[in-house]
Amino acid sequence: MRRQTATIAGRIAWALLAGLLLLSGCAEPVDPEPALQGGQPWSVAQPFAGTPPIRVVCTTGMLADLARNLGGERLQVTALMGEGVDPHLYKVSPGDVAKLDAADLVLFNGLHLEGKLGELFKRLARRKPAYALAESLPAERLLGLEGAPDPHVWFDVSLWRDLADRLCELLVAFDPAGAAEYRQRHAAYAARLDDLHAWVQQEIASIPAPRRVLVTAHDAFRYFGRAYGIEVRGIQGISTESEAGLKEINQLVDFLVERQIKAVFVESSVSTRNVQAIREGCQARGHPIVLGGELFSDALGPADRPEGTYEGMVRHNVRTIVEALR
């Protein structure tokens, strides 16, 4: 009965969202293209004309944390996806539809992180300001895999710092009255991200080179690997919509045994089933392997813990990786 109720609620949400998007076709269009121009200046069809706080709805906790750091009290920020939520598989609820309808500004990651919802958000941009922030990054800085762009840009702190630059530009264009505050808060936050990036480089470099191999539940850490010099392998692909087959699992077991890797990691928003299969496969080959710990990948941790912020999440992940591999 509970599953049936959830299914009905999901259908109602999709119907409401479809209606919301249908109405968008009759509204004055807001050009979504600046979010796709690879670092070009933002173009806002109509700046905010109301009284702050500006109601901002973000898909992920990472984007919401970024918006709060730059917006301060001028923004009232809501995240659709909480801790432990997989954005690749997320389905909107009736409450989400109400939040999107009431929002002054919608921020989503893009690059297919939100699955089919990404296309719906781009259609929503015909009705109100809605931007795929990660798609504003220069194409040459993005990674691709499986014929698609890798959306997990937050794992390279220097790239996330660039995204903070983009969001600051967007907020200044959307709310010129708050320009001085946005720029001041951005300068302070960017300095913290620069320090965080340097700290991650130092910590990962402390792992002996042969042990710098990170194996996780899905292929979310490629930006992390490129930025900090660590080899990464994921059991599933960049989207958890793609299931790992027996062939892929056996190939990864071969890799772990051959390289004598001692630890693999689970993720807070991904099932542990495949990780357990990898461990059992290694055990059968006479190569016991341990769980190095839980990493936060596509979602932040609990709001009442340090991991509930972007900076806290990064520090938790790095400490967990270093302790297991060093």
DSSP string, 92-157: --HHHHHHHHH-SEEEE--TTTTTTHHHHHHHHTTTS-EEEGGGGS-GGG--EETTEE---GGGSH
Tell me what pLDDT residue 45 has: 77
Whether the per-residue pLDDT at 28 is higher than 60: the answer is no
Tell me what pLDDT residue 276 has: 84
Summary mean pLDDT of the chain:
85
Domain covering 207-325, topology: Rossmann fold (3.40.50)
Domain boundaries defined on the chain: 2-198, 207-325
- This prediction has a pTM of 0.85
As given in the structure block, the two tokens for residue 2 are: 């509970």
54 burial via Cβ count (<10 Å: 0-12, 13-18, 19+)? buried
Are 148 and 238 within 8 A, CB to CB?
yes
Tell me what pLDDT residue 159 has: 98
Q: Map tokens 């890799």 to a residue.
A: 255
Q: 2-198 with 207-325: one CATH topology?
A: yes
Whether the per-residue pLDDT at 23 is higher than 50: the answer is no
Mean pLDDT check: name the lowest of 1-15, 32-46, 57-71, 86-100. 1-15
Average pLDDT over residues 221-248: 77
How many Cβ atoms are within 10 Å of 195's Cβ, its own excluded?
12
Tell me what pLDDT residue 219 has: 80
As given in the structure block, the two tokens for residue 52 are: 């702050």
Domain covering 2-198, topology: Rossmann fold (3.40.50)
Are 131 and 32 within 8 A, CB to CB?
yes
As given in the structure block, the two tokens for residue 209 are: 């080179």
